[in-house]
Amino acid sequence: MSASADGTITQFTPDANGCLPMLEHIDLDVRLSRRDYQQCMPELQARLYDMEQAVLEARVPVLVIFEGWAGTAKARMIGVLTRRLDPRGLRVHSITPPRTYEQQYPWLYRFWLKIPSYGQIALFDRSWYREMLAERTRGGDALRWRARCEDVVGFEHLLADDGAVVLKFWLHISAKEQARRFKRLLKDKLTAYQVTDEDRWQHRHYHSYAAVVEDLIARTGTPAAPWHVVPATDKYYARVAVTKTILAALEARLGRSTVALDAAAQSAGPDVAGAAFRRRGVNGLPPASAAPAEPAVGAPRILRGVDLSQQLDEKSYSRSLKRLQAQLHLLGLALYRQQRPAVLVFEGWDAAGKGGAIQRLTAEIDPRSYTVHAIAAPAGDDKLRHYLYRFWRRLPPRGQIAIFDRSWYGRVLVERVEGFARPDEWARAYAEINEFERQLADFGTIICKFWLHISPQEQLRRFEERQNVPYKAWKLTDEDWRNREKWPRYEEAADEMLLHTSTPAAPWTIVEAEDKRFGRIKVLHTVAQRLEAELGKVDL
């Protein structure tokens, strides 16, 4: 069998060794003598140790992913690679099917939590591909399969664009070789447990499973994260080939002189996806080496056209506030019953009233059902990884609400204006953020995003008020005054942010917050309206 472009399965006739058409050029009978292995492997391990130190100095994150047929001894391969390495600089992740609590989040959540910090090496004994293959080979929907492929292509692009080296290996053996290995393991009571029911199922369906692997490699092999198919019939050959491939990639990334690979290593680590699969990711993200597109020139002045004269009297405010808070209380219960997560994002000018709006929003919601994240400059683990890492790990589970007072949009706002992110970094962040929010929406997350807008004159008035009121003075910092001097640059950044990241699944709402009462009611009304559209109306 083979996989067609639309994800359906069609018939084909395998060759005598049980190999696929796309993989049939891989010579599975290549060998390396034990003597040759013992001669070259210590030197390769010493070089790998040196590269580990270089990776740490250069602060380059490295992901090495091992997938392959059951019986290819992936764990032993990892053991050989790590034997001479400093354990402080690496992590090994053995990936199992998702646990119950992990199913409460978008499917890539648990892998975002495992990405290596800058300068660290992460080795994956199976990975995100395990879940994809298990689902697809057991009759999973073709549309879902294609969506998952898009998700991982985007995920790997994000990491590569952030400087990571992503290496993916498929350890390849024939159906006959797999049967031979299973037979040997099952003969010994001490090793029989290693052959699981999942392994037996895979062997019985070797050819249909292999067809899905073929489609997987075609869809997810990219210049930023190519697949390397390694003949694994001979363990010595496979170990040397994998080690040399890793060394070549790291030496190339760090600008070190690369020792020429011998003929064995060259044939052992081919990118079987080849030129046909060296394409842009299916989600439209450019390769890591490509220059990101600059934001559109002449973007409209969105914020300057906002009418800030909107006002609300105290009586109308009190009446609306009471009704909306009661409505939000019931909607919070509906959210929990329907097991839908919600993400509320608050951005805006300093002193625009984000805190006050959040306080009124949560006043009557069960406090067990929401978490407010006040986002400041990254610190600790957050600072050592991709900028989206700290937001992935703060996502709400099903039935819960996460409220972000500042958010991932700092990448295209403060980091852009203050120079904390390079132009190429913040320019590509628009697509990265849209992809992030798309995955949340596909999971069923309800997203509301607010920009609280005030005039420079109103901001100055509020700053002066804070300065003169003791219990508010703590809110005002020197940084607030410095940011005020850069108002035009922040306004330009906010305009482009609103233009590039307002999508049907995650639209922006501009809140006229010159009058605090009007702004708060608009926020509560918008959230209630959005939740009712997704969850159904509630009776007060």
| Per-residue pLDDT tens over the stretch 30-62 | 999 999 999 999 999 999 999 999 999 999 999
Tokens 């958010």, residue? 407
Q: For 10-19, 170-179, 427-436, 523-532, which range has the lowest pLDDT when averaged over its residues?
A: 10-19
Closest CA to 135 of 185, 97, 179, 173: 97
Residue 268 has pLDDT above 70, yes or no: no
Task: Quote the pLDDT of residue 330.
Answer: 98
Strands (E), 57-120: 62-68, 90-94
pLDDT of residue 271: 39
Identify residue 93 by its one-letter amino acid code.
H
User: pLDDT at residue 441 above 90?
Assistant: yes
pLDDT of 143-162, one tens digit each?
999 999 999 999 999 999 99
Give the model's pLDDT for residue 476. Answer: 67
Of residues 349, 270, 285, 268, the one with CA closest to residue 511: 349
- Report CA-CA distances (Å) from 59 to 86, 115, 446: 16, 14, 36
Percent of the chain with pLDDT over 70: 86
Residues 6+ apart with CB under 8 A from 464: none
Q: According to the model, what pLDDT value does residue 261 have?
A: 36
Looking at residues 221-233, what average pLDDT do you find?
94
For residue 299, give the nearest of 181, 412, 182, 190 by alpha carbon: 412
In 3D space, the residue among 55, 46, 167, 49 whose CA is nearest the CA of residue 117 turns out to be 55
Query: Which residues on neighbouring strands pair with residue 66, listed in sequence order?
Result: 125, 169
* Dihedral sign from CA coordinates of 362, 366, 367, 369: negative
Q: What Cα–Cα distance (Å) separates residue 196 from each residue in 73, 107, 314, 325?
A: 14, 24, 68, 54
pLDDT value at residue 443:
97
Nearest CA-CA partner of 116 in 156, 89, 94, 97: 89
What is residue 479's predicted lDDT score, i.e. its pLDDT? 73
pLDDT confidence of 273, banded at 50, 70, 90?
A: very low
Mean pLDDT of 110-117: 98
Alpha carbon distance 485, 513 (integer Å): 20
- Output the pTM of the full model: 0.86
- pLDDT, residue 62, reads 98
Identify the CA nearest to 44 among candidates 226, 253, 227, 250: 250
All domains in the chain, ordered by first residue? 25-277 (3.40.50.300), 303-535 (3.40.50.300)
pLDDT tens-digit map of 366-393: 999 999 999 999 999 999 999 999 999 9
* 84-121: b (≥16 Cβ within 10 Å) or e: ebeeebbebbebeeeeeeeebbbbbbbbbeebbbbbbb
> Which two three-digit tokens encode residue 66?
């091992």
pLDDT of res. 438: 97
Whether the Cβ atoms of residue 361 and residue 521 lie closer than 8 Å to each other: no
More confident residue, 279 or 68: 68
Q: How confident is the model at residue 278 (pLDDT cuts 50, 70, 90)?
A: very low
pLDDT at 202 over 90: yes
Which residues face 404 on adjacent strands?
A: 345, 373
Least confident of 94-98, 278-282, 287-291, 423-427: 278-282
pLDDT beyond 70 at 19: no
Mean pLDDT estimate for the chain: 88
Instruction: Report, in angstroms and rounded to the nearest whole number, the Rg of the chain calculated over CA atoms.
Output: 27
Strands 342-348 and 121-125, how do they pair?
Answer: unpaired
Position 353 pLDDT exceeds 60: yes
Mean pLDDT for 322-343 is 98
Residues 6+ apart with CB under 8 A from 498: 302, 303, 451, 508, 510
**Beta strands 121-125; 9-10: pairing state:** unpaired
Percent of the chain whose pLDDT exceeds 90: 81
Q: How much is the pLDDT for 291? A: 34
The residue-averaged pLDDT of 8-25 equals 46
Instruction: Say how far apart CA 317 and CA 311 lie, in whole Å.
Output: 10
The residue whose two tokens read 């942010």 is 497
Q: Is 6 exposed, middle or buried (0-12, 13-18, 19+ CB in 10 A)?
A: exposed
How far apart, in whole angstroms, are the C-alpha atoms of residue 411 and residue 494?
A: 11
pLDDT at 466: 82
Position 20 pLDDT exceeds 90: no
Q: Choose between 276 and 165: higher pLDDT.
A: 165
Alpha carbon distance 165, 289 (integer Å): 12
For residue range 464-511, list pLDDT tens digits in order.
888 876 656 566 677 777 778 899 999 999 999 999 999 999 999 999
Q: Is the dihedral of CA 219, 221, 225, 230 positive or negative?
A: positive
Comparing 248-262, 309-323, 503-517, which segment has the lowest mean pLDDT? 248-262
**C-alpha span between 62 and 81 (Å, rounded):** 14
Which parts of 63-141 fold into alpha helices (H)?
74-82, 109-112, 128-137
Return contacts of 422-428, CB within 8 angstroms, 24+ apart: 423/294, 424/291, 424/292, 427/292, 427/293, 427/294, 427/295, 428/161, 428/285, 428/286, 428/292, 428/293
Q: 386 CB contacts (<8 Å, ≥6 apart)?
A: 115, 158, 159, 162
Strands 165-172 and 62-68: parallel
